[in-house]
Amino acid sequence: MKETFLVTGGVRLKGTVKVVGAKNSVLKLMAAALLAEGTTTLTNCPEILDVPLMKDVLEGLGCQVEIERDNVRITTPAQLKSDADFDAVRQFRASVCVLGPLTSRCGRAVVALPGGDAIGSRPLDMHQTGLEKLGATTQIRHGAVVATAEKLRGAHISLDFPSVGATENILTAAVLADGVTVLDNAAREPEIVDLCDMLNEMGAKVEGGGTSTITIEGVEKLHPTTHEVVGDRIVAGTWAYAAAMTGGDITVGGIAPVHLHLPLQKLRLAGAEVETYATGFRVSMPARAQAVDYQTLPFPGFPTDLQPMAIGLAAVSEGVSVITENVFESRFRFVDEMQRLGADATVDGHHVVVRGMEELSSTAVWSSDIRAGAGLVLAALCADGVTEIHDVFHIDRGYPQFVDSLQQLGATIERVTKP
C-alpha cells in the first residue's frame, strides 16, 4: 500500500504551531548513548520514522530502546556488538553516526555504507581521516566502513569542509581517547552544540561547541544522562516559509530564533513581517512576496535543508530569484517537480533561476527526499485545484504530525492510502 497527500491550494495559513526536537539532533544523540553503560533518556523527541529506524540500529548492537511518545530511553550494555546491522543502517544516512561511538567503546566498528535521501554524494572520507588521525585504521570492505583501534589518542584534526557528520563522529570518538583533541574547521550547527552539551552532561570535557574550533579532553568513562533535544530549526523554517508563500500569519514556538537568523532575514527582505521572541517567532506576509536571492552554506549560512522552501517562495514571488546550491550537487532534482507544478525555473549548474508567477497549477508530483517533499506540499498550497503528492514516506521521516499541523493552520490536505 502506498500513501499520498491530496493538497488543495488557495488557502492562507494562519495560527500557531510548536516544533519539537530536531531530527538532525535526536538521531546523533541516540548514537551518543552508546558511549555510556546504563540508561540514557532523551526528551522532546520528534515522532518521526527515523527514530524507530535508529532504534533498530541500536538494538542490533545490544541496546534496549523504549520509545514512548516524545521520550526515548536507551539502555546500553557493558559489552556492545561492534557490527551494525546492514539492513537497518542502509535505510538512512544518520546511521553512520554510530561509527565514532563504536570505535571509541569497542575498538572496532563495522558500519554499512548508509542510504537516505537522494540529494547528492556524501562520502565518508573525512570521517575516516579523522578516525585515522586519532589512531584508528579504516577501510571500506564489502560495502561497509571498518574501523579498528587498540586505543585512540588525541590529535590535531583539521577538516577540509565543516562536515556535520564528520564533526559528530570525531567528537564521539575523541571523548574517550587519551589526551587532547583539537578539531579545526568544525561544523557550527546548533545540533553540534546540542551534542556537545549532552556529552558534557555525560562527563565529557568538550569546549568550543558552536565555534569553528572544538577542543576535547579525553576522559576514562562517561555516565548516562537525561537530555532535552534542541528544537528543530528546519521544521520551524518550513512553517516560516509556509506563512510567506501562502500570504499567511503563523506563530512558531519551541525554537530559538537565532538558529534561523538568516532564513528569517531573507523573509524580511521578501516583504514579510517577522517578530521574534525568546522561544519562537511570528511570520506574516501582508502582500505578495518580492524576489530574493539565496545561496546555501554551512551554518550560520542559509541551510541547504531549506533550499526547496526558498525555491517554492521564489516561484510565487514578484520578480526573478537566483538560488545557488553549495552543499549537495543533486538537490535540484526538486526543480523537476516544481516545473510540473508550472514553476518557471531553469537549472544552470549549481544555480537555478526562478521567475515568479502569481499562481502555480495542480498536478501529480513525487517527493525525492524529506525537504523536497515538504517543499512540494507548500508549493501545492499555492496552486489551483488539487495536487497529488507521492512518496510521502520521505516527509514522515522528518516532519512529525505534518498533516495534522497543516490542517490546524487551515490547510486542506488529506492522507490517502492506495494499492
Binding residues for phosphoenolpyruvate: 23-24
By CB atoms closer than 10 A (0-12, 13-18, 19+), residue 74 is buried
Contacts of 294-298 with CB under 8 Å at 24 or more apart are 294/266, 294/321, 294/322, 294/323, 294/324, 295/323, 295/324, 295/325, 295/326, 296/323, 296/324, 296/325, 296/326, 296/327, 297/326, 297/327, 298/161, 298/162, 298/164, 298/187, 298/188, 298/189, 298/327
The residues annotated as belonging to the active site are: 117
The distance from CA 407 to its chain's CA centroid, rounded to whole angstroms, is 23
CA atoms within 13 A on the CB side of 220: 0
Q: What are the binding residues?
A: 23-24, 93, 305, 327
Q: Buried b vs exposed e over 190-225: b needs ≥16 C-beta within 10 Å?
A: bbbbbbbbbbbebbbebebbbeeebbbebbeebebb
Q: Are strands 386-390 and 364-366 parallel, antiparallel or unpaired?
A: parallel
Instruction: Give strand pairing partners of 225.
Output: none
**What is the rounded radius of gyration, in angstroms, for the C-alpha atoms of the chain?**
21
